[in-house]
Amino acid sequence: MHDFHYYQNELYCEEVPITKIADEVGTPFYLYSFHTLENHFKVFDSAFDGIDHLTCFSIKAASNLAILKTFINLGGGVDIVSGGELFRALNANVAPNKIVFSGVGKQIKELEYALTTGILMFNVESSSELTILNQVAGRLGKKAHIALRVNPHIDPKTHPYISTGLKKNKFGIETTQAIENYQAVKKLEHVESIGIDCHIGSQITELSPFVEALRKVKELVQLLKKENIEIKYLDLGGGLGITYQQEQPPHPKEYAEVLIEEMKDLNCTLILEPGRVIVGNAGILVSKVLYLKQGTEKSFVIVDAAMNDLIRPSLYAAFQAIQPVVNTGGEEMVVDIVGPICESGDFLAQDRKITCLKPNDLIAVMSAGAYGFTMSSNYNSRPRAPEILVRGKEFHVIRERESYGDLKTGIPDSE
Ligand X SMILES: Cc1ncc(COP(=O)(O)O)c(C=O)c1O
Residues in the interface with ligand X (CB under 6 A) total 17
Q: Work out how close the CB of 290 gets to ligand X at its nearest, in angstroms, rounded to a whole number.
A: 32
Strands 144-151, 191-197: parallel, antiparallel or unpaired by DSSP? parallel
Question: Could you say whether residue 88 binds ligand X (CB under 6 A)?
Answer: no
Q: Name the segment binding ligand X (CB under 6 A); options: 231-239, 244-252, 257-265, 336-344.
A: 231-239
Question: Could you say whether residue 202 binds ligand X (CB under 6 A)?
Answer: yes
Q: Name the segment binding ligand X (CB under 6 A); options: 114-122, 232-240, 313-321, 387-395.
A: 232-240
Q: Work out how close the CB of 164 gets to ligand X at its nearest, in angstroms, rounded to a whole number.
A: 6
Contacts of 24 (CB under 8 A, 6+ apart): none
Largest CA distance in the chain: 71
Q: Work out how close the CB of 102 gets to ligand X at its nearest, in angstroms, rounded to a whole number.
A: 4
Question: Could you say whether residue 249 binds ligand X (CB under 6 A)?
Answer: no
Among 79, 262, 304, 346, binds ligand X (CB under 6 A): 79
Residue 186 · residue 253 · CB < 8 Å: no
Containing H/E element for 312? helix 312-316
Q: Name the segment binding ligand X (CB under 6 A); options: 205-213, 271-279, 309-317, 319-327.
A: 271-279
Distance CA 315, CA 161 (A): 9
CA distances from 322 to 10, 18, 80, 349, 364 (A): 14, 14, 31, 8, 6
Distance CA 405, CA 407 (A): 5
Q: Work out how close the CB of 71 gets to ligand X at its nearest, in angstroms, rounded to a whole number.
A: 13
Among 53, 88, 98, 276, binds ligand X (CB under 6 A): 276
DSSP lists the bridge partners of residue 371 as: none
Distance CA 15, CA 5 (A): 9
CA distances from 201 to 2, 205, 264, 326 (A): 24, 11, 24, 36
Question: Could you say whether residue 273 binds ligand X (CB under 6 A)?
Answer: yes
Residue 9 buriedness (CB in 10 A; 0-12 / 13-18 / 19+): exposed
Question: Could you say whether residue 40 binds ligand X (CB under 6 A)?
Answer: no
DSSP result, 225-256? HHTT----EEE----B---SSS--PPPHHHHH
Nearer to ligand X, 274 or 283 (CB): 274
Nearer to ligand X, 375 or 398 (CB): 375
Among 22, 47, 59, 61, binds ligand X (CB under 6 A): 61
Q: Work out how close the CB of 55 gets to ligand X at its nearest, in angstroms, rounded to a whole number.
A: 11
Question: Could you say whether residue 98 binds ligand X (CB under 6 A)?
Answer: no
Contacts of 333 (CB under 8 A, 6+ apart): 299, 353, 354, 355, 356, 357
Could you say which of 56, 198, 268, 342 is catalytic?
342
Q: Work out how close the CB of 277 gets to ligand X at its nearest, in angstroms, rounded to a whole number.
A: 6
> Is residue 34 classed as helix, strand or coil in its secondary structure?
helix
* Range 101-130, binding ligand X (CB under 6 A): 102
Q: Name the segment binding ligand X (CB under 6 A); options: 38-46, 57-65, 130-138, 361-369.
A: 57-65
Q: Work out how close the CB of 379 gets to ligand X at its nearest, in angstroms, rounded to a whole number.
A: 22
Question: Could you say whether residue 275 binds ligand X (CB under 6 A)?
Answer: yes
Question: Could you say whether residue 209 binds ligand X (CB under 6 A)?
Answer: no
Question: Could you say whether residue 193 binds ligand X (CB under 6 A)?
Answer: no
Give catalytic status of residue 198 as yes or no: no
Question: Could you say whether residue 237 binds ligand X (CB under 6 A)?
Answer: yes
Contact string (CB under 6 A) for ligand X, positions 366-395, x = contact: ----x-------------------------
Question: Could you say whether residue 309 binds ligand X (CB under 6 A)?
Answer: no
CA distances from 355 to 18, 32, 280, 333 (A): 18, 24, 24, 6
Residue 184 · residue 130 · CB < 8 Å: yes
Q: Work out how close the CB of 343 gets to ligand X at its nearest, in angstroms, rounded to a whole number.
A: 25
Distance CA 274, CA 120 (A): 17
Among 83, 165, 209, 238, binds ligand X (CB under 6 A): 238
Question: Could you say whether residue 55 binds ligand X (CB under 6 A)?
Answer: no
Distance CA 44, CA 77 (A): 13
Strands 347-355, 4-7: parallel, antiparallel or unpaired by DSSP? unpaired
Distance CA 31, CA 25 (A): 11
State the residues that interact with ligand X by CB under 6 A: 58, 60-61, 79, 102, 199, 202, 237-240, 273-277, 370
Q: Which residues are catalytic?
A: 342
